[in-house]
Structure 1
Amino acid sequence: MPARFTFPFHYQPHPLAREAVADLQQHLRNQTDWTHDFGHDEAAGVGAKGKMFGVLVVENENGELGYLAAFSGKLADSNHLPGFVPPVYDVLKTDGFYKRGEREVNAINDRIEKLEKSDELAAAFANLARLEQQSAEEIIAEKAALKAAKTDRKRQRQEGKESMSAEAFAQLEKELAHQSVGRHYDLKDLSRSWEKRLRMAREELAVFTDEIDQLREARKAMSNDLQHRIFAEYRFLDARGETRDLTDIFAETIFKTPPAGAGECAAPKLMQFAYLHRLRPVCMAEFWWGQSPRSEIRKHGHFYPACRGKCEPILGHMLGGLKVDPNPLLTNPAAGKELPIVFEDDHLIIVNKPHEFLSVPGRQIEDSVWLRIKQQYPEATGPLIVHRLDMSTSGLLLLTKTKETHKVLQHQFFKRSVKKRYVALLEGIVDGEEGIIDLPLRGDIEDRPRQIVCYEHGKTSRTIWKVIGREAGRTRIHFWPVTGRTHQLRVHAAHPLGLNIPIVGDDLYGQPDERLCLHAEHIEFIHPYSREEVAFTAESSF
């Protein structure tokens, strides 16, 4: 029996949780009560979709052990399936306020659609467009005529001045001035006439558009009211019996309001059911079952931590009163580790960073390459760090002793003239020998620090790769990152549209192991002062 409950955001499943998972997975393979295309076999259809499942090992008041099972969101178009805990709040309940409100919103949508597709609205738009075109043409023509008349009056003045007596020319001047005033009044009258006709046409159109706008505002207000009522219905217990709803929980976060789907993940559903039925949570685990999503990296059968964006605030409350494993991310992984210096001169330093060693200070942990070098070289100026390596990645890291050197080298990185090569060990056999991966990446807002593939908002990310060996069912590979996005090599290796094989030991995109087998083994650049190309290599330990 574990002494403390699982820390849900970074864990290795307890043997009891693994046993429960194995039993649930066997059930998923054999059950016939419902149908869902998970997409993990050859019969997968176009709508195939994987799903996150969770198990919670619990103890009842008699000391007997068992487990609860849950799925995130809906499964087989339902949120109630035999053998799984129910949702915290059932938004799909037919006679519930949400469904009633949804029907009212849908009625407004139908009315808006009917108005937008009506012949009367189309005719009003067409009439206004026709009048606007006609008014523009007539006013342009009138202005052209006014300009031509002005030119003609100028000609008459010039001729009259040369041929007329002073008295006759004075009379001509009066007549021409009167004509000028008259033409300007004609233009103003025409403009006012068209303004009146256009105003009437806009008023005719507004009969329809105002109603549509009012309906949209009513729909927005109704949807907001429904959403807030839903947030209030999602009430979560903790081990002490204290209750908080979604609005209250997320008011303390940077989001302020709950994101879509908050409270529908497996872990909160499991904890809520356990508390409601006086069951003591012992340990938990979550795993992915089926086809990976297009953007995120989820591997069939692999374990995953609870998500940060939606679950961390909720579980932060629900774990209150439980003895929970300490957060391993608050423990300094670099404690007791040396930081080998590969090269040093008056301008720069190259270190061979160990794995599980921060490049720069984190939110909770100060110990890092930056801090160690700053302490060792207190006279150094400037930012020191020119580029970074993930905490779990080992290898060559370039630092500078002066602000001027940093500026020169940073420019080389900006121009992508610095050549870097990584070596990695992949958890499987790669098809092919070499290639290029182009997958745009961005941060997963709801589950940092994970990155996802996103063709709409992601940044261009390119990696060149080449297989250098295959051994014991694994592939040794070289990576040359053309761009330097966060977790780029890890995502490009693991994503189905990349190599579809995670790096050994990748606890974010694959499976944990002794270490992440990714190492920055080679770097080339132009020395800022000698102007010669220099290269450095550090062999990996795997």
Structure 2
Amino acid sequence: MEQVTFTINEDQHLERIDKLLSAMDEDWSRSQVQQWIKDNFVKVNGEPIKGNYKCKTGDEIVLTIPDPEPLDIEAEQMNLDIYYEDGDVLVVNKPRGMVVHPAPGHVTGTLVNGLMAHCKDLSGINGVMRPGIVHRIDKDTSGLLMVAKNDKAHESLVNQLVEKTVTRRYKAIVHGVIPHDKGTIDAPIGRDEKDRQSMTVTEKNSKDAVTHFQVIERYKDFTFVECQLETGRTHQIRVHMKYIGYPLAGDPKYGPKKTIDLNGQALHAGILGFDHPRTGDYLEFEAPLPKEFEDVLDWLRKRS
């Protein structure tokens, strides 16, 4: 079992405990959090509480996350946007709004559910809840993912991620006008101790994180950029761009409250490249921007 401890800050004062906890991780549905509360896995100041408890500044929250039970993942027919597939690997373009893999309390409608219906041969290294999943992108980020169809391919792709040889380039719209044409953000990322719902740049309990960015186009008060990941930390681009003062447009967690309404951050994993795990040949794929992303760019150009 994993244990998470944090203290309620002023911004979280009077927020319902079940709503607050379910926002900490996209894998935790509100119904799952409510069940944890019923099972006394959540304590406030050392005491069990009810799901409608309203947090108070200074409350100490201790969440004990039970070990996940094996899930019987249901295959679901979906119109997946497959860019490449052979006996070892598959590349898919995930739409905005889709969760990558199931979790307790959230077992349907994910990319993995669709993959299970599309092909029966997925690697089992990441267990029954994440078959074939080598890396993931956030629910509201669109774009390309590589999927392993056997364990040997999975190990090869993971090693390439560790060795930083995988090409991962994202398109993003950020607040503010970046004056320089390109740059590198080298700043470690870890859990925000003041807000356990978020990641932040910190030296404490963090991992190295490096993001390269290049300006594509500037507007009146926004900038269109391409970001290339050298590492793959949780929310890396979102955290790094906020850190240098240019948070992503539409980002409900790291961006300003008054922003472009995209139902999520303006971020698209557009280019993915890697060495084929069997042949060693370098493969690279590019997915165009979603229509809603292009519509925002057109609007920014017109108003500028």
TM-score (norm 2): 0.67
Q: What is the aligned counterpart of 1:317 among 53, 66, 85?
A: 53
- Other-structure match for 2:297: none
Contact 2:77–2:114 (8 Å) recurs in 1 = no
Q: What is the aligned counterpart of 2:88 among 320, 324, 347?
A: 347
Counting only pairs closer than 5 Å after superposition, residues 40-59 of structure 1 correspond to structure 2 as none
- Other-structure match for 1:91: none
Percentage of pairs with the same residue = 30
Q: Distance in 1 between matches of 2:91 and 2:200?
A: 31
Q: Distance in 1 between matches of 2:4 and 2:84?
A: 45
1:476-520 Cα deviation digits (max 9, x unpaired): 10101111100010011112xx2x111111000014622421011
1:293-324 Cα deviation digits (max 9, x unpaired): xxxxxxxxxxxxxxx9989x6883249xxxxx
Q: What is the aligned counterpart of 2:148 among 387, 400, 409?
A: 400
**1:445 shift after superposition:** 4.8
- Other-structure match for 1:373: 115
1:324-347 Cα deviation digits (max 9, x unpaired): xxxxxxxxxxx9974311111121
- Other-structure match for 1:529: 278
- Other-structure match for 2:210: 462
Contact 2:177–2:220 (8 Å) recurs in 1 = no
**1:438 shift after superposition:** 1.4
Contact 2:123–2:154 (8 Å) recurs in 1 = no
Which is higher, the Rg of structure 1 or of structure 2?
Answer: 1
**1:474 shift after superposition:** 1.6
What SS is found at the alignment partner of 2:247? coil
1 or 2, which has the higher helix percentage? 1
Q: What is the aligned counterpart of 1:387 among 119, 135, 145?
A: 135
Whether 1:508 and 2:253 are equivalent positions in the alignment is yes
Counting only pairs closer than 5 Å after superposition, residues 189-200 of structure 1 correspond to structure 2 as none
Give unmatched runs, 5+ long, in structure 1.
1-253, 272-307, 320-334
What SS is found at the alignment partner of 1:523? strand
Q: Distance in 1 between matches of 2:176 and 2:80?
A: 31
Contact 1:339–1:354 (8 Å) recurs in 2 = no
Counting only pairs closer than 5 Å after superposition, residues 219-368 of structure 1 correspond to structure 2 as 262=8, 265=10, 268=13, 316-318=52-54, 338-366=79-107, 367-368=109-110
What SS is found at the alignment partner of 1:530? coil
Counting only pairs closer than 5 Å after superposition, residues 20-39 of structure 1 correspond to structure 2 as none
> Which letter maps to 1:466?
Q
Q: Distance in 1 between matches of 2:11 and 2:229?
A: 36
- Other-structure match for 1:417: 165
What SS is found at the alignment partner of 1:316? coil
Contact 2:148–2:154 (8 Å) recurs in 1 = yes
- Other-structure match for 1:539: 288
**1:269 shift after superposition:** 6.3
> Which letter maps to 1:534?
L
**1:526 shift after superposition:** 0.9
1:165-194 Cα deviation digits (max 9, x unpaired): xxxxxxxxxxxxxxxxxxxxxxxxxxxxxx
Q: Distance in 2 between matches of 1:433 and 1:483?
A: 21
Contact 2:190–2:204 (8 Å) recurs in 1 = no
Contact 1:268–1:315 (8 Å) recurs in 2 = no
Go from structure 1 to structure 2 and tell me whether the alpha carbon gap of 1:412 and 1:402 turns closer, same or farther (over 3 Å shift).
Answer: same
Contact 2:14–2:54 (8 Å) recurs in 1 = no
Contact 1:490–1:503 (8 Å) recurs in 2 = yes
Go from structure 1 to structure 2 and tell me whether the alpha carbon gap of 1:255 and 1:378 turns closer, same or farther (over 3 Å shift).
Answer: closer
- Other-structure match for 1:453: 201
Q: Distance in 2 between matches of 1:463 and 1:440?
A: 11
Contact 1:309–1:446 (8 Å) recurs in 2 = no
Contact 2:123–2:151 (8 Å) recurs in 1 = yes
Instruction: Tell me the number of residue pairs that the alignment of Structure 1 and Structure 2 aligns.
Output: 231
Q: Distance in 2 between matches of 1:314 and 1:434?
A: 50
Q: Distance in 1 between matches of 2:44 and 2:166?
A: 39
Contact 2:98–2:140 (8 Å) recurs in 1 = yes
Q: Distance in 2 between matches of 1:421 and 1:270?
A: 37
**1:379 shift after superposition:** 3.4
**1:446 shift after superposition:** 5.5
Q: Distance in 1 between matches of 2:159 and 2:234?
A: 19
Contact 1:355–1:516 (8 Å) recurs in 2 = no
> Which letter maps to 1:508?
K
1 or 2, which has the higher strand percentage? 2
Give unmatched runs, 5+ long, in structure 2.
17-41, 56-75, 125-130, 294-304
Contact 1:268–1:314 (8 Å) recurs in 2 = no
Q: Distance in 2 between matches of 1:450 and 1:518?
A: 17
> Which letter maps to 1:316?
N
Contact 1:465–1:479 (8 Å) recurs in 2 = yes
1:148-178 Cα deviation digits (max 9, x unpaired): xxxxxxxxxxxxxxxxxxxxxxxxxxxxxxx
Contact 2:78–2:114 (8 Å) recurs in 1 = no
What SS is found at the alignment partner of 1:317? coil
Whether 1:519 and 2:271 are equivalent positions in the alignment is no
What SS is found at the alignment partner of 2:120? coil
Contact 2:201–2:240 (8 Å) recurs in 1 = no
1:449-481 Cα deviation digits (max 9, x unpaired): 410221233211111110011134321101011
